[in-house]
């Protein structure tokens, strides 16, 4: 891999390029960066957008009069004559403060960062409104790189898969803080309401080492709404035809240098339905109450102190199982089968920055969470408590005009206590007991960004040195290179190591649901893998059409992976370290276009090959991975902007399923799933301060019928809820309304 990186780096260094580059930054009047702002030259097709830092690069090659224009929805556009200049900072005026409102553009729903050597896909607030997006798990209906997959159909636990690998290998962060891990990973992505999300950044493969060592398949960074941009009042109500209801209310205010945003979120459960007559409810009953607060002080772009702090409190209850199951009297009993999950979770995170000057700043990142969970899976009782602390002190230094260094110290504490017992003494299992996990991980990290040849080449090289109290010293190197052929064509290459420690029970809920006994044959080691990949992105602009074409390939080679073995024994799940060859190949091609600012379209294809070596030279594909997947999305908004229509089509190819040939004939399943197509649509009408929307998910009403194996005998030896490969609740109609005071 390093030879490949060196080859491309050398090739780029030898290229003969003479185009004039212009760098800049787009902010609002208070210094808050504007992500996805449009930047272009007057009378030219040279155009770009700002990245997650508000930064842009654009070539002035061939431009006679370099009049640069920037625009962003809700702000007054600005222009500047770049003659004799190669850097500019725009500070746009809020159009609401002007007598006449002029909106010349709209933030793109999705875009790929032009600046970052890491291929970073952004899902903006514009895109999130194109579907119901009730929680984070549902925010990827129009995204090709991430698949939101159900891991337990009875309680509807979900994970975000990248490159066909389990969601545990995708590092999910809130505002750049890695707090979703351990026990919180099972239901964490479903507990974040979509209404508090501003932008989601997705990076496949190797990433920055600044946020830690855990990223293996990729990284998902969820940026919540900034207090400086929050509406004074916002309300969103939603209901589907299953009668599940959601209510969201938020408030924003400013006092001096302080800005504050507070959001309230509530979910009320759906009615019980059983369309496929297996005596299990199709839609788990969910009750959730949540409060979220985000405060900011000062301006990070100015010298001196600034800070952002977030507080969240979650109380959640999930109930699933047989139609007659009553959690008040049947919880843990063998009268009726049911599963219940009760979660209480307070957390706080944020950062505090002191900017010394334009080239120096010191930032403290920190977070803490407490997770208390009590669950019943039939007659299996599971209680888990987790304390998670994270801290990082980082110095950012721009030591030359072309090079910058970020380095610092980090510390992570993770205490997990899990207690497993069985209320049915007639079918005892050996893994009952108390499980403790205590991790203390101090670390050092450094990451340098080099820019060469008038910023045509950007190279990030970074490394971490962490000391785990059990597994001792762990070294994590990563390297990422970006080469710009011109302002529209970019090549990226990445490579690096990632590692993590597994949390067997919380990350494999199916083991607790299964009738199998769990046997640990050896002490579990950290999971570790090398990921490397390549991406090419071609952007295009014109008077009629604009957009981008992207193609990439990523490979992940595991050095150790935790696989429960279901093959050796019909009655046991044997847990060992899998140190033989295991890999993932992921190929994706995507075409995204906008036509006359009215029509948005995206076409994407994914190919995945995820396999492991079962015997020397013989590889077997892993179950539940779709080798072939197509995505088509479309949206239309007229010039009046009074309404818009959005739709999507998803085609999933056949998936390999777990081997059930040893089960009795009634409890066997096919070796492969069916291929299937789902279609979604939504219509939104916009008033001055009020929006109404209505839609339908899974219009064609495709369902995987009776997904639970041995549903007739839920306390028997063949009961299995993990064999879910497609939609189970069928068509869903919904309506909603949004109201805001800016």
Tens digits of per-residue pLDDT, 531-561?
Answer: 999 999 999 988 889 999 999 999 999 999 9
Q: Say how far apart CA 312 and CA 294 lie, in whole Å.
A: 9
Q: For position 689, what pLDDT does the model report?
A: 87
* pLDDT tens figures, 215-228: 999 999 999 999 99
pLDDT at 4 over 70: no
Q: Say how far apart CA 425 and CA 273 lie, in whole Å.
A: 32
Q: Which residue has the higher pLDDT, 294 or 78?
A: 294
Does residue 195 sit in helix, strand or coil? helix
pLDDT (mean) for 694-710: 95
Q: Distance between terminal CA atoms of the chain?
A: 50
Q: Which residue has the higher pLDDT, 566 or 429?
A: 429
* pLDDT tens figures, 571-617: 788 899 999 999 999 999 999 999 988 899 999 999 999 999 988 88
Question: Does domain 2-106 sit in CATH 2.60.40.1120?
Answer: yes
452: β partners: 457
* pLDDT-wise least confident of 95-99, 207-211, 229-233, 268-272: 95-99
- 8-state DSSP, 26: E
Contacts of 367 (CB under 8 A, 6+ apart): 177, 178, 179, 347, 348, 349, 350, 388, 389, 390, 391
Q: For position 45, what pLDDT does the model report?
A: 62
Q: For position 8, what pLDDT does the model report?
A: 39
* pLDDT tens figures, 396-421: 999 887 889 999 999 999 999 999 99
Q: What is the distance, to the nearest Å, from the Cα of residue 460 to the centroid of all Cα atoms in its chain? A: 22
Q: For position 20, what pLDDT does the model report?
A: 57
Q: For position 614, what pLDDT does the model report?
A: 87
Backbone angles phi, psi at 507, to 5 degrees: -95, -5
734: β partners: 240, 695
pLDDT at 22 over 90: no
Does residue 728 sit in helix, strand or coil? coil
Q: For position 95, what pLDDT does the model report?
A: 62
pLDDT at 101 over 60: no
pLDDT at 211 over 70: yes
Q: Say how far apart CA 372 and CA 731 lie, in whole Å.
A: 34
pLDDT at 720 over 90: no
Question: So where are the chain's domains?
Answer: 2-106, 111-741
Q: For position 37, what pLDDT does the model report?
A: 85
Class of CATH domain 111-741:
mainly beta
pLDDT at 9 over 60: no
For 185-224, b/e burial (b = at least 16 CB within 10 A) is bbbbbbbbbbbbbbbbbbbbbbbbbbbbbbbbbbbbbbbb
Q: Say how far apart CA 298 and CA 736 lie, in whole Å.
A: 36
Radius of gyration of the chain from its Cα atoms, rounded to whole angstroms: 26
What whole-number percentage of the chain has pLDDT above 70?
94
pLDDT at 243 over 60: yes
pLDDT (mean) for 78-106: 67
Q: What rounded mean pLDDT belongs to the chain?
A: 89
Q: For position 106, what pLDDT does the model report?
A: 59
Q: For position 17, what pLDDT does the model report?
A: 33
How long is the chain? 742
Q: For position 576, what pLDDT does the model report?
A: 92
pLDDT at 108 over 80: no
Q: For position 414, what pLDDT does the model report?
A: 97
Q: For position 202, what pLDDT does the model report?
A: 94
What whole-number percentage of the chain has pLDDT above 90?
67
Q: For position 19, what pLDDT does the model report?
A: 40
Q: Say how far apart CA 267 and CA 248 lie, in whole Å.
A: 9
Contact 740, 403 (CB under 8 A): no
* pLDDT tens figures, 163-172: 999 999 999 9
């Amino acid at each position: 891999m390093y030879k490949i990186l060196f080859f491309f780096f050398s090739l780029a260094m030898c290229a003969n390029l003479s185009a004039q580059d212009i760098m800049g930054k787009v902010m609002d009047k208070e210094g808050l960066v504007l992500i996805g702002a449009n930047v272009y030259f007057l009378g030219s097709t040279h155009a770009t957008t700002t990245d997650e830092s508000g930064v842009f690069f654009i070539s002035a090659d061939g431009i006679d009069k370099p009049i640069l224009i920037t625009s962003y929805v809700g702000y007054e556009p600005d222009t500047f004559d770049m003659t004799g200049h190669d850097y500019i900072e725009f500070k746009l005026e809020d159009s609401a403060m002007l007598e006449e409102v002029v909106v010349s553009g709209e933030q793109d729903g999705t875009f790929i960062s032009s600046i970052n050597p890491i291929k970073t896909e952004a899902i903006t607030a514009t895109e999130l409104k194109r579907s119901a997006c009730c929680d984070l798990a549902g925010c990827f209906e129009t995204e090709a790189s991430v698949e939101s997959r159900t891991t337990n159909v009875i309680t509807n636990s979900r994970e975000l898969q990248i490159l066909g690998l389990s969601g545990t290998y995708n590092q999910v962060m809130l505002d750049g803080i890695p707090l979703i891990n351990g026990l919180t990973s099972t239901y964490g992505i479903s507990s974040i309401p979509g209404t508090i999300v501003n932008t989601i950044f997705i990076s496949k493969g190797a990433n920055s080492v600044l946020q830690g060592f855990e990223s293996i398949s990729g990284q998902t960074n969820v940026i919540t709404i900034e207090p400086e941009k929050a509406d004074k009042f916002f309300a969103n109500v939603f209901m589907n035809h299953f009668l599940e209801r959601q209510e969201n209310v938020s408030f924003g205010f400013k006092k001096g240098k302080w800005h504050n945003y507070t959001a309230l979120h509530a979910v009320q459960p759906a009615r019980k339905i059983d369309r496929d007559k297996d005596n299990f409810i199709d839609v788990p009953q969910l009750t959730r109450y949540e409060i979220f607060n985000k405060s900011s002080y000062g301006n990070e772009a100015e010298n001196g102190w600034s800070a952002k702090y977030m507080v969240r409190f979650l109380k959640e209850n999930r109930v699933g199982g047989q139609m007659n199951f009553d959690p008040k009297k049947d919880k843990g009993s063998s009268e009726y089968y049911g599963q219940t999950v009760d979660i209480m979770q307070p957390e706080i995170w944020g950062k505090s920055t002191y900017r010394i000057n334009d080239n120096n700043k010191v930032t403290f990142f920190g977070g803490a969470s407490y997770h208390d969970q009590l669950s019943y899976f039939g007659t299996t009782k599971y209680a888990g408590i987790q304390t998670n602390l994270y801290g990082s002190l980082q110095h950012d230094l721009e030591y030359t005009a072309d090079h910058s260094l970020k380095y610092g110290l980090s510390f992570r504490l993770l205490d997990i206590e899990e207690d497993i017992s069985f209320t049915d003494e007639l079918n005892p299992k050996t893994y009952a007991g108390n499980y403790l996990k205590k991790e203390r991980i101090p670390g050092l990290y450094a990451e340098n960004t080099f820019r060469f040849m008038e910023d045509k080449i950007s190279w990030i090289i970074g490394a971490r040195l962490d000391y785990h109290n059990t597994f001792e010293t762990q070294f994590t190197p990563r390297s990422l290179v970006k080469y710009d052929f011109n302002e529209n064509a970019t090549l990226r290459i990445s490579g690096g190591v990632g590692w993590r420690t597994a949390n067997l029970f919380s990350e494999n809920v199916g083991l607790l649901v299964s009738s199998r006994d769990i046997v640990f044959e050896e002490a579990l080691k950290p999971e570790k893998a090398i990921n490397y990949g390549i991406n090419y992105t071609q952007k295009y602009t014109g008077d009629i059409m604009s957009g981008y074409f992207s193609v990439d390939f990523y490979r992940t080679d595991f050095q150790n992976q935790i696989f429960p073995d279901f093959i050796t024994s019909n009655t046991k799940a044997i847990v060992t370290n899998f140190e033989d060859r295991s890999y993932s190949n992921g190929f994706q091609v995507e075409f995204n276009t906008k036509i006359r600012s009215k029509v948005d379209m995206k076409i994407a294809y994914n190919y995945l090959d995820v396999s492991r070596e079962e015997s020397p030279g013989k590889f077997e594909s892993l179950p539940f991975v779709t080798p072939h997947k197509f995505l088509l999305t479309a949206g239309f908004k007229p010039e009046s902007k009074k309404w818009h229509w959005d739709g999507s089509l998803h085609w999933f190819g056949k998936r390999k399923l777990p081997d059930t040939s040893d089960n009795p004939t009634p409890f066997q399943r096919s070796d492969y799933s069916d291929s299937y197509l789902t279609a979604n649509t939504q219509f939104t009408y916009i008033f001055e301060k009020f929006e109404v929307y209505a839609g339908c998910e899974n219009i064609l009403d495709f369902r995987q019928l009776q997904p639970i194996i041995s549903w007739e005998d839920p306390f028997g030896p063949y009961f299995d809820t993990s064999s879910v490969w497609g939609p189970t609740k069928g068509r869903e109609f919904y309506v909603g309304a949004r109201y805001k005071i800016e």
